[in-house]
Amino acid sequence: MVDRGRGDESHTSWVDWVAGLKHDLAKYVAWRSANFEDEVWEGPLRAELVAALQADILRTHRDRPAWELWDERRAELNPPRVHPALVEIEDAVAVLRSCKGALEDGEGPALAAMRPQIRAAQQSIRAALQRLHREVRQG
């Protein structure tokens, strides 16, 4: 079932929640790393990509990892909501959470191998929140 945001909370607070999440998570989860060309995402792991990924994912907003921000914001929804975009974001955040150790280490083959999954998760979060934000604004 898709909840269009007209439950116990007002529609306005649902729109505000989505807008806030779009700003806090979608904007910052790939703030620096989104600007790198494909060649940086492939081949030898570059220090500048590592630094960008660590900043974007481990310190997404106000020095909190993306998954902590997501967990905190998701807990604000009372009652919880079910929406395909939220499921997509949850799955993408789980991918980022699974990369925590490699991101903290910041070097080596583990992080290099995770780059495609990390990039896809970042893009998924951004796209899902952009779609959701557009949907809730249109009512």
Task: Report whether 31 contacts 56 (CB < 8 A).
Answer: yes
b/e map 97-126, b = 16+ CB within 10 Å: bebeebbeeeeeeebbebbeebbebbebbb
Tokens 């583990």 label which residue? Answer: 110
The pLDDT, as a whole number, for residue 10 is 60
User: What is the pTM assigned to this prediction?
Assistant: 0.89
Model confidence at 4: pLDDT above 50: no
Say which range, 16-20, 42-46, 74-78, 121-125, has the weakest mean pLDDT: 74-78
Coil, helix or strand at residue 61: strand
Using CA atoms of 41, 45, 48, 52 in order, give the dihedral in degrees to the nearest 10: 60
Query: Which of 88, 103, 127, 100 lies closest to 49 in space, CA to CA?
Result: 103
In this prediction, residues 35-59 reach a mean pLDDT of 96
Model confidence at 60: pLDDT above 60: yes
Alpha carbons 103 and 58: distance in angstroms, whole number: 8
Q: Within 10 A of 68 (CB to CB), how many other CB atoms are there?
A: 16
